[in-house]
Amino acid sequence: MLICLNFVSCTTIDNIKTKIGGKNEYFEYLNTNKSDKISIQSIRDPGFKFIVTDDKAIKDMYELLSSAKVTDKKSELNPDYVFEINVGDEVKKFYYVVGAVEGNFYDETTNFTVSKRLDEGIIQNLSIIRKPRDFEYVYYNSILKVLEMKKSELNNNTHKVGINIQGDVDCLKYVFSTDLEEFLKNAKKITPDVSLVNNNSNEFDVVITIKNRGYDSTTYKTNITVDNKTDKIKDEFYVMATNEFKEWAIDIYEESDVPKAIKAEW
């Protein structure tokens, strides 16, 4: 999916410059006619990319990045996006962590701290493509509720637990490293030996797999499979979340207990 990305106004960016004290000169090439395209590719969802070709949008990007502060520290979180900036025949590549405070925009040689205004531009465009309302709340709390339901089993014999969202293709574009970090902190309160699967599911005793089955602004459906390879137990859960009066109700059913009306909607 390709979409056009718009950024904040120059007035707002001027305010940012004032707060952080001047600008860097690393991105002066964006202020020339040599830069005609910026691609912003989601790392988790290869099919999701922003393309910036509008002269004004590129100018806004220049103003935003030239306001970034150079830092020795690079974010330890996995990047969410790859930026590729075309400068004539050259392509300059940067990595970006949404929401990280320091060192959230970097290449192989230099780290920058970019204003959260860049986050807002990306989030705003995600909203255009039907991002579920309160996505972070519904997505991560659904998984946490299943962990609570299986807590005694997961903590028995110190199982190593892996949470696999890699195949949840409909939702990966909305998943950011800062949210995953917070989610894992909460998950470890339930079962301490838990981490994300990263093409290494064979290394875990229990693999919890998430697969979305549809969503809109008021309804969210997903399947969560708990595959306990050590004890040879496999459970399937049906998650049905509905938003009424601006609050989400998350109902979770084991496969044998799913109401017929709910099952019919899958």
CA distance 20 to 255: 54
Read off the pTM: 0.85
For position 22, what pLDDT does the model report?
59
For position 45, what pLDDT does the model report?
92
pLDDT one digit per residue (tens) for the chain, 266 residues: 544 455 443 344 344 343 444 588 999 999 888 899 999 999 999 888 888 898 888 888 898 899 899 999 999 999 999 999 999 999 999 999 998 789 999 999 999 998 887 777 776 666 555 667 789 999 999 999 999 999 999 998 779 999 999 999 999 999 999 999 999 999 999 999 999 999 999 999 999 999 999 988 889 999 999 999 999 999 999 999 999 888 999 999 999 999 988 888 88
CA distance 230 to 131: 37
Domains located in the chain, CATH noted: 2-127 (2.60.40), 135-264 (no CATH)
